[in-house]
Amino acid sequence: MVKVVLAGAGAFGKKHLDGIGNIDGVEVASIVGRRLEPTRRVAHEYGVPHATTDLGEALALPDVAAAILCTPTQMHASQAIQCMDAGKHVQVEIPLADSLADARDVDARQRETGLVCMAGHTRRFNPSHQWINRRLRAGDLKIQQMDVQTYFFRRKNMNAAGEPRSWTDHLLWHHAAHTVDLFQYQTGERVVAANAVQGPIHSELGIAMDMSIQLQSESGAICTLSLSFNNDGPLGTFFRYICDNGTYIARYDELVDGYEKAIDVSGVDVSMNGIELQDREFFAAIAEGRQPNASVAGVLPCYETLHELDASLRAGA
């Protein structure tokens, strides 16, 4: 039985709790939250015996081996290092950090400790993207272009459940991270050219509400990514793979071809839930003594590209 601590009892933390509930041999020993009473309510709902506002207290509980961090972005790097310093394996929800320097610090500590340290790059695990990846690796497909839309309607500081939160996510360091990493992962190549422009900075949130990004891989494949918090319409992220042998559209765990004909991806993995599959990989890596898919080292090129894009946006501000 692997005992794990979950830090961050908000909308995404609950997605992990739901996923872990389907995984044999894993027990949530504690939930860590910003405010004790709401954290206790979530712990009671999921049958977790301990709740606290102190991550260190939770990590010190008997037999705890690992932690999953669903806390605000600005805390990810320092808390990941805190977990590894305590001798615990750690999964950090996306993004790993909001600066390349912090991401490199986490990578360095993982190398020093040898512990499993994984970033929550869920798109690597969604059955839809796994289906594409297998055909790419088999040589059945080659990406010519990825056209991606990441759209939300979020003009107030709310989480995915529509609840107020204490921090602000970021179109570049959070939402673009999914696509930047996925483009490099699916092509199997590094990004060699990257450009970005952004819209006006929101007067209250202090972030750009619209952004456009262009990427090119070593072989010439391109990715066009549009992101918005101003979209009053269908919400979410939609990935169009334009390949040499077909076009495919991925919507989270679902996949259709270019003519909207559904593709059955139910047999790709043991679940249709990308978050659950992500968590399964984390615990499997711990059990097998290996680094996971989406290890910190594996996703670091994404953060190098985000750093480059951030620098260009700042220079053009």
Q: Which domains does the chain have, with CATH numbers?
A: 2-121+275-293 (3.40.50.720), 123-269+303-316 (3.30.360.10)
DSSP 8-state symbol, 257: E
**DSSP single-letter state for residue 292:** P
Under a CB-based contact definition with an 8 Å cutoff, are residues 240 and 147 in contact? yes
Q: Which residues contact 285 (CB under 8 A, 6 or more apart)?
A: 89, 116, 118, 291, 292, 295
Q: Are 24 and 12 in contact (CB under 8 A)?
A: no
β partners of residue 178: none
Q: What is the pLDDT along the chain (317 residues), one digit of tens a residue?
A: 999 999 999 999 999 999 999 999 999 999 999 999 999 999 999 999 999 999 999 999 999 999 999 999 999 999 999 999 999 999 999 999 999 999 999 999 999 999 999 999 999 999 999 999 999 999 999 999 999 999 998 777 666 666 665 656 889 999 999 999 999 999 999 999 999 999 999 988 888 999 999 999 999 999 999 999 999 998 899 999 999 999 999 998 999 999 999 999 999 999 999 999 999 999 999 999 999 999 999 999 999 999 999 999 999 86
- The half-sphere exposure of 34 on its side-chain side, counting CA atoms within 13 A, is 11
The alpha-helical segments, DSSP class H, found in 153-195 are: 177-187
What is the model's pLDDT at position 203?
A: 86
User: Would you state the pLDDT for residue 158?
Assistant: 64
Give the pLDDT score at 162.
Answer: 66
pLDDT of residue 204: 84
Q: Give the pLDDT of residue 161.
A: 62
Share of the chain residues as helix, strand and coil, in percent rounded to the nearest 5: 40, 30, 35
User: 8 is written with which tokens?
Assistant: 């961050």
Q: Measured between alpha carbons, how far is 12 from 275 in angstroms, rounded to an integer?
A: 9
User: What is the helix (H) or strand (E) element at residue 312, kind and residue range?
Assistant: helix 296-316
pLDDT at 154: 79
Q: Which residues pair with 150 in a beta bridge?
A: 227, 237
Give long-range contacts, CB 8 A cutoff, 24+ apart: 19-23.
Answer: 19/273, 19/275, 19/276, 19/278, 19/279, 19/280, 20/276, 20/279, 21/46, 22/271, 22/273, 22/276, 23/276, 23/279, 23/280, 23/283
Q: Provide the CA 184 distance to its chain's centre, in angstroms.
A: 15
Query: DSSP alpha helices (H): ranges in 188-238?
Result: none
Tell me what pLDDT residue 94 has: 97
Q: Which residue type is seen at 15?
A: K
In the prediction, which pLDDT does 155 show? Answer: 77
